[in-house]
Structure 1
Amino acid sequence: MSSTGFAGRSVVVTGAGSGIGRATALRFAEEGANVLVADLNGETAQRTVEAVRTAGGVARAVVGDLGEQRVVDEIVATATGAYGGLDVLVNNAGIMDRMSALADTEDAEWERVIRVNLTAPFMLTRAALPHMLERGRGAIVFTASEAGLRGSAAGAAYTAAKHGIIGLTKSLAVMYRNNGIRANAIAPGATSTNIQVDAETSAHGPSVIASYPGLSGRVADAAEQAAAILFLASDAAGNINGAVLPVDNGWSAV
């Protein structure tokens, strides 16, 4: 039996093809969980599944855009059908903006970042909740960001989306605290992942952000973020609900 209580539990991890999501999926599998790997990239999703299986774990993938209801429905149906329910949801998938200041943020940038980083987690959580409520338990962990705690870590779109994730986390915690559902978030600082930042360094937003050098400290490994996610999802965090845990080497304390 896993010491963390994940043995045999059904876990969905989004953005699990790489970075924090992949590290998280692998850690859950190591602890005996049955993992549903959700990602937009089919090739990287399958690599994660193969890595889990090679290590003796159980995993399968669903590939698609989390902003589409049919993909959300497929993820939940696959996890509940294959694993007999849904115990843990990790809303990790996300994209960066171009570090654009508000006046320079085009509609396309705003809409894409909000859709992937805020609307998609909302949709997937909404689809997962009935299954968790039926069982009387469930743990939901969001990957927020240091940009959800301050205004100097990203552009307008990403900052708004991650502040929204924190608000969503707290709302869930309040609304379902008496139904056995816990919702928490990590707020990563600088972390080594493959997330891309397509920013024009001479633009107003990137130049302002660059004027705050060194505050983020060292760059974390994805596995460090995964460890925090597993803790918040575990029985050891059974009375932690509505918390936002900075995993940032003290950046939030500066």
Structure 2
Amino acid sequence: MEDRKEWYLEYEIKINRPGLLGDISSLLGMLAINIKSINGVDDRKRGLLLLVKNEEQVGRLESILQTVETIKVTKIRESKLRDRLAVRHGRYIQRDHDDRKTFRFVRDDLGILVDFMAEHFKQEGHKLIGIRGMPRVGKTESIVAASVCANKKWIFLSSTMIKQTVRSSLIDDEYNVNNIFIMDGIVSAERANEQHWQLIREIMRLPAVKVVEHPDIFVQHSEYSLDDFDYIIELREDPSQEITYDMLQNNRMFQSGFGGFDY
């Protein structure tokens, strides 16, 4: 079978009549475009992953769909990770309009969040991901679950998942670039010594995936900046929850081992 590129088609349903999907499927068949996957995406939208031989097919498809009064094409492009996840989960990942590298999730989205991170964890080379969120919202658990999905070993450089962890050295096989290196910005900032920070610098130079919880605190106490991050993930209990560190500082959790909270 000849090579085909994967494209994403998304349309909004203006008039939901019986047989609409069948008509579009028939049109794709006449254009020799294969449907790889299909699902509802958000409210009154449908997303399709298509296998296309050439862009001429896409151009013809787009021209014909513009004349269909029952739908409105909202996206037609070579597929991206967000498109594939939207079709898989039936909803789109929320992206910050002002900061395009920031993605927003709520606790009910943990399945798509784990999938999102796992896809990035599978990629080779350096990648720095930050994750913001209040206590007990599921940050560390999501990172570990994504590592499992990506079939990668995870290494905590600093963490409070089970007990407070601050590493100042690794054994030889832990330096593997296929590992996922996890840091807690608060623990590293408030509990670590210079040996720990030297280890972080070594890991930052590795062509591997690094994930930093509380990246804002991390950059305040290091030579790194938010510009160094490839992605920032925000995880909330619900869309209205504010992510703030005032509560932590006012209760002096930095100085008291974080009060037993799991960050």
- TM-score (norm: length of structure 2): 0.25
Instruction: Give 1 or 2: higher helix fraction.
Output: 1
Structure showing greater Rg? 2
TM (norm. structure 1) is 0.25
Instruction: Name the structure where strand makes up a greater proportion of residues.
Output: 2
